[in-house]
Amino acid sequence: MSESSEESTGWARLRAVWLSVLGLSWPVMTEQVLRTLMRTTDVIVAGFFSPAAVAAVGLADIYARLPLWFGLGVGDGAIALSSQDTGSGATANRDEAVTTALALGVLAGVPFAVFGLLFDQAAISVLGAEQDVVLIGASYLAVILLSSPARHVTLIAARSIQGTGDTRTPMYVNLGGNTLNIGLTVGLAFGIAGLPEYGVVGIAAATAIADTLTAGAFLLVLSTDRSPITLVRPSDPIIGKQLVLISAPRIAEGLSEVVAQFPFNAILLAFGTEVNAAYHIGMRLYQQIAAPLSRGYGVAANVIVGQALGRGEPDTAYYDGLATAALGAITVGGLGVVLFFQAEAFVSLFTRDPVTIGYATDFARAYAVATVLIAPYAILAGALRGGSETRSPFVAKVTGTFVFLLGMTYVGGLHLGYGVVAAYVAIVADYVWRNIVLGSVYVHRGWIERGTRMMRERGSLDATGDE
């Protein structure tokens, strides 16, 4: 074969993977854009009240990420098994894994709801916030954690369905829920359209109501022919064990990020309430503009890699993950360029306080620089999870978060006197390190052996249809 023919074949293969990824990821991206817009709306609405309200919502959301990460963790275990077993045709194993994951999600949501009711003020005050921030944040936190079981159901059900290759149905359900959330946020915060005026508490109430209705919609989908998944009575301990083994590092990964946010926010609060509010605004801008693409690509990588392993095609799984990472770096990096140069204009949508605007612009630009690193990290992590490997993303996030994001900010900002500039540098350094860790694990291919071994243990290899 001539060199030009090889190049043509290589480009055709790459193009085919990119088209497949885009087909799977655009519904996830669309859904994530609106979900992120819902959270962005929360911050914008809070900004109409005061910088203290913005800081309160941001600090309360740290605790709200606890049930979020549990749902994401179990959901990632469900999508890994769902995609692998869909690829191999082991639909009975897939149905059991999904049902077990949903049951775990409901049960685990109850303690979070109780925590919000009993420890709302203590949770915010321990971060060192001012009294007005504590009062606002506590009320927000108590309400938003009530819907933790429902939020778990939504996250797990959506990922389970995505694992079958259907990313559109979760998009439709979540679009409806998030649209309702946005409308209720504005209505309940300001008392519009005949709704009562609850201020910041109304923002949380909108989320709790929408999450509960969305969870009900997902359970309805799973009980009908709209989804190929059938809910069953769990009975296989091997599947339950594997679900826990895959989910636990992912949950721990998220919890480590939440734990690190406590001292990180405390450091920023030492620089002033405006700096803390600015951080949440800058991060929210990144999450609104660039994060949906990274998350969409990550889900697509999880699905195509998991299904390729289920079909017994490890080389295809390896190539598809790298090809998706390249697509993410190019496209998400391009959005980062836009965010960098338009940062101040975007920040002005969130606050009118000039001090907060200045700091938030710099935070947004730090995240803009990091986008070209965040996308490959999210995609490689998704690909590894498609192979049932959740340990290395956990190691990458823990070491990056504590050594770089937290460590550099603390030492450079407080002890060496660089102030908030140290936080800007730490944001970028964190993702440089994460890519180094995941890249080295990915190229050694041990994750392929792990995924194949686990499929063999639960009897999913060489399966044809229901067992």
- Burial of residue 65, with CB atoms counted within 10 A of its CB: 0-12 exposed, 13-18 middle, 19 or more buried: middle
| Structure token digits, residue 419 | 């102030």
Query: Looking at the whole model, is its pTM more than 0.85?
Result: no
* pLDDT tens-place values along the chain, 467 residues long: 555 555 567 888 999 999 999 999 999 999 888 887 887 788 888 888 888 888 888 788 878 888 888 999 999 999 999 999 999 999 999 999 999 999 999 999 999 999 988 888 888 887 777 777 888 888 888 898 999 999 999 999 999 999 999 999 999 999 999 999 999 999 999 999 888 888 888 999 999 999 999 999 999 999 988 899 999 988 889 999 999 999 999 899 888 887 887 788 888 888 888 888 889 888 888 887 888 899 999 999 999 999 999 999 999 999 999 999 999 999 999 999 999 999 888 888 887 888 888 989 999 999 999 999 999 999 999 999 999 999 999 999 999 999 999 999 999 888 888 888 999 999 999 999 999 999 999 999 999 999 999 999 998 876 544 44
Q: Which of 203, 136, 210 is nearest to 178 (CA)?
A: 210
Alpha-carbon distance 212 to 195, whole Å? 19
Question: What pLDDT was estimated at residue 273?
Answer: 81
Question: What pLDDT was estimated at residue 112?
Answer: 92
At 316, which amino acid appears?
T
Residue pair 273/133 in contact (Cβ under 8 Å)? The answer is yes
Phi-psi region of 389 (alpha: psi -120 to 50; beta: other; left: phi over 0): beta
At 146, which amino acid appears?
L
| Structure token digits, residue 390 | 């959740």
Q: Is the dihedral of CA 91, 247, 29, 155 positive or negative?
A: positive
Residue pair 185/202 in contact (Cβ under 8 Å)? The answer is yes
Question: What pLDDT was estimated at residue 407?
Answer: 92
Question: What pLDDT was estimated at residue 134?
Answer: 84
| Structure token digits, residue 418 | 């660089």
Phi-psi region of 81 (alpha: psi -120 to 50; beta: other; left: phi over 0): alpha
Alpha-carbon distance 263 to 59, whole Å? 11
Q: What angle do CA 185, 190, 195 make, to 5 degrees?
A: 75
Alpha-carbon distance 187 to 297, whole Å? 33
Question: What pLDDT was estimated at residue 2?
Answer: 52
- Burial of residue 341, with CB atoms counted within 10 A of its CB: 0-12 exposed, 13-18 middle, 19 or more buried: exposed
Question: What pLDDT was estimated at residue 466?
Answer: 43
* Cβ-based neighbours of 329, under 8 Å, separated by 6 or more: 372, 375, 376
Which single residue is written with the structure tokens 């275990």? 77
Secondary structure of the chain in the HEC alphabet? Answer: CCHHHHHHHHHHHHHHHHHHHHHHHHHHHHHHHHHHHHHHHHHHHHHCCCHHHHHHHHHHHHHHHHHHHHHHHHHHHHHHHHHHHHHHCCHHHHHHHHHHHHHHHHHHHHHHHHHHHHCHHHHHHCCCCCHHHHHHHHHHHHHHHHHHHHHHHHHHHHHHHHHCCCCHHHHHHHHHHHHHHHHHHHHHHHCCCCCCCCCHHHHHHHHHHHHHHHHHHHHHHHCCCCCCCCCCCCCCHHHHHHHHHHHHHHHHHHHHHHHHHHHHHHHHHHHCHHHHHHHHHHHHHHHHHCHHHHHHHHHHHHHHHHHHHHCCCHHHHHHHHHHHHHHHHHHHHHHHHHHHHCHHHHHCCCCCCHHHHHHHHHHHHHHHHHHHHHHHHHHHHHHHHHCCCCHHHHHHHHHHHHHHHHHHHHHHHHHCCCCCHHHHHHHHHHHHHHHHHHHHHHHHCHHHHHHHHHHHHCCCCCCCCCC
* Cβ-based neighbours of 321, under 8 Å, separated by 6 or more: 301, 305, 379, 380, 383, 384, 386, 442
Alpha-carbon distance 118 to 133, whole Å? 18
Alpha-carbon distance 89 to 108, whole Å? 30
Which single residue is written with the structure tokens 């996030």? 397
At 82, which amino acid appears?
S
Alpha-carbon distance 250 to 395, whole Å? 10
> How many residues in total does the chain contain?
467
Q: Which of 287, 277, 375, 378 is nearest to 333 (CA)?
A: 375
Question: What pLDDT was estimated at residue 194?
Answer: 85
